Structure formats: structure tokens, C-alpha cells
């Protein structure tokens, strides 16, 4: 039997550490982004009881029961579209939707960083939405 050399072992363990911290960072990023951008309406715990609630016509959704309301599975792609908002056909800030159009918002914020191309900004917006989804999955009630 051929034993793996030390180098292969080191690479393998480096890769697994990177993969683990990547996943962690993502949920962590989502949590921070949630606190900074979403908690004002949806509440610190996601129950829809943020301080801006009383100023809105439509109550912000309870984000901890998304899976529950969807037969026990978290509808990832659908929620990605709801959060992004650019393809919802719901008219954005001037339509019936009261939720900010986060795809546009995150992209616009990334575009203000010097040297960032539209493509990098798009990637950054999607990455943030992906992190938010990962975080939201962790707050779902059974
Ligand atoms: C200005 C208040 C406000 C902010 C800030 C806000 N939301 Fe919302 N959100 C709402 C409202 C109101 C709804 C209900 C649907 C509507 O308005 O059309 C909603 C709906 C949602 C839904 C759909 C839930 C479901 O069950 O269908 C998701 C997911 C969501 N918001 C995620 C987020 C995330 C993630 C952020 C932060 C990046 C955020 N929201 C920030 C007001 C807000």
C-alpha cells in the first residue's frame, strides 16, 4: 500500500480547515449583516417585532417560521429572490413591497468601494445574500 507523504497530509488538513472556516464565516457574516440591516424591522430574534414595525403598513414577516410555513423545508431559492428583490416583479420601493430591494442595495454599496467592478459588486451582493440565508436557516423553529 502506498502511504501518503507528509506534504499530501498537510494539504489535506489545510483544505479541511479552510472549508470549515469558510462555512462558519458565512453564517457569522449573515448574523452581523442581519443585525445591521434587518433587525430594525424583523426584530433581533427575527420574530418580526423590530422597532420600525409600527411605521410599516405591512407587518415584517416572522423569519423564524419560514420553514414551518413551507411544510418543514426552508425554501432557499425563493427566499434568495425575496431578499434580493430585483426579480420579484413587485415594483421595489415604489410598488407594494415594503422590504428594501437588497440585491440593488448591497450592489450599490459595493460599487462605492474604489476599484470594484460591477461584476465584483454583483458577486459581493450575492455572497451577502447567501450568508443571510445561511444565518436565517439557523434560526428556523422546528
Ligand atoms: C424596512 C423594513 C424591513 C427591513 C429593513 C427588512 N425587511 Fe424583510 N420584510 C419586511 C416586510 C414588511 C416584509 C413582508 C413582505 C412585504 O412587505 O412585501 C418582509 C419580508 C421578508 C422576507 C419574506 C419572509 C416570508 O416569510 O415570506 C424575508 C426572507 C425577509 N423579509 C428578509 C429580510 C432580510 C434578510 C433583511 C435584511 C437584509 C430584511 N428582510 C430587512 C420589511 C423589512
Rounded to whole angstroms, the Cα distance separating 110 from 104 reads 10
Ligand 1 centroid–CA 20 distance in Å is 29
Residues 103 and 84 sit within 8 Å (Cβ to Cβ): yes
| Beta carbons within 8 Å of 48's beta carbon, 6+ residues apart | 41, 42, 59, 60, 61, 62, 63
Rounded to whole angstroms, the Cα distance separating 22 from 33 reads 16
* Site to substitute for ligand 1 among 37, 56, 61, most atoms within 8 A of C-beta: 61
Predicted confidence pLDDT, tens digits, the chain (142 residues): 566 666 665 555 555 444 444 444 589 999 999 999 999 999 999 999 999 999 998 899 999 999 999 999 999 999 999 999 987 666 555 557 888 999 999 999 999 888 878 998 998 899 999 999 999 999 999 9
C-alpha cell at 81: 429572490
Rounded to whole angstroms, the Cα distance separating 50 from 82 reads 19
76 close to ligand 1 (CB < 6 Angstrom):
no
Amino acid at each position: 500500500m502506498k502511504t501518503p507523504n507528509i506534504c499530501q497530509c498537510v494539504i489535506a488538513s489545510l483544505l479541511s480547515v479552510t472549508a470549515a472556516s469558510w462555512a462558519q464565516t458565512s453564517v457569522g457574516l449573515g448574523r452581523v449583516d442581519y443585525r445591521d440591516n434587518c433587525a430594525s424591522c424583523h426584530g433581533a430574534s427575527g420574530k418580526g417585532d423590530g422597532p420600525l414595525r409600527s411605521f410599516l403598513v405591512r407587518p415584517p414577516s416572522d423569519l423564524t417560521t419560514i420553514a414551518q410555513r413551507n411544510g418543514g423545508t426552508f425554501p432557499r431559492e425563493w427566499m434568495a429572490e425575496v431578499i434580493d428583490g430585483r426579480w420579484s416583479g413587485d415594483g421595489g420601493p415604489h410598488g407594494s413591497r415594503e422590504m428594501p430591494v437588497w440585491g440593488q442595495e448591497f450592489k450599490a454599496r459595493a460599487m462605492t468601494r474604489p476599484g470594484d467592478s460591477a461584476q465584483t459588486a454583483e458577486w459581493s451582493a450575492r455572497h451577502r445574500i447567501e450568508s443571510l440565508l445561511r444565518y436565517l436557516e439557523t434560526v428556523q423553529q422546528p
